[in-house]
Amino acid sequence: MKSCGPCTLCCTVLEIPALSKPACQACVHVRAGTGCGIYEARPEPCRTFTCGWLATEALGEAWRPDVAGFLIRDERDQGHLCIDVDPERPAAWRRAPYLTQIRAWSAMVRDQSGCVLVYEGPAVTVVFPEGDIALGPIGPAPRLQIGYQGKGERQRPLVRLLSTTGEVLQQWRDVVP
């Protein structure tokens, strides 16, 4: 069975409202190499969080978050796969062998009406099998409509940001391969 070992990346990248800890900022309780300084008293989100690497036996050491420079999070309720990047290594997920696998996951979750979202703090990039669309900072819990426009060879990725009432606030079509 896997263990976190020296990794503490979730203690930096995740937002923990119970501690007033913003995303992409190291928790004041994290101790380098040893983990949580308030382990017995850590709040509920810290007790229950398990990253994708820890939960997936098939992902090797290269995918351990402190090695890879990002962690994988499974948003099962929305069908999305989320990647939270280490703010000190924001482009690490684009390196081999990660990007090829992330694009393959994108094709897989797309077939289940999901997508891959890469979070660098508040800035979001949507990863399609064909390329990426950088949305920039779009606020917490964005309501996104992600899919394709057109048919056959004219089919192109499309992302829409929706209001709570379903109105289109902004849309993006330009994919960077």
Residues of this chain that interact with ligand SF4 (CB under 6 A) are: 4, 7-11, 16, 19, 27, 29-30, 36, 38, 42, 46, 50-51, 53-54, 65, 71
Distance, CA of 37 to CA of 105 (rounded, Å): 35
Q: How far is the CB of 110 from ligand SF4 (least distance, A)?
A: 25
Closest by CA to 124, choosing from 97, 90, 156, is: 90
Q: How far is the CB of 51 from ligand SF4 (least distance, A)?
A: 3
End-to-end CA distance of the chain: 37
Considering the complex, state which of residue 8 and residue 128 has its C-beta at the smaller distance from ligand SF4: 8
Considering the complex, state which of residue 19 and residue 162 has its C-beta at the smaller distance from ligand SF4: 19
Considering the complex, state which of residue 48 and residue 100 has its C-beta at the smaller distance from ligand SF4: 48
Q: How far is the CB of 25 from ligand SF4 (least distance, A)?
A: 10
Q: How far is the CB of 75 from ligand SF4 (least distance, A)?
A: 16
Q: How far is the CB of 46 from ligand SF4 (least distance, A)?
A: 3
Helix (H, G, I), strand (E, B) or coil at 18: helix
Chain centroid to CA 13: how far? 10
Rounded to the nearest 5°, which phi and psi values hold at 119?
-105, 125
Distance, CA of 163 to CA of 159 (rounded, Å): 13
Considering the complex, state which of residue 53 and residue 128 has its C-beta at the smaller distance from ligand SF4: 53
The residue to which tokens 């050491």 are assigned: 61
Please classify residue 95 by burial: count the beta carbons closer than 10 Å to its beta carbon, then call 0-12 exposed, 13-18 middle and 19+ buried: exposed
Considering the complex, state which of residue 10 and residue 133 has its C-beta at the smaller distance from ligand SF4: 10
Q: Cis before residue 6, ω within 30 degrees of 0?
A: no
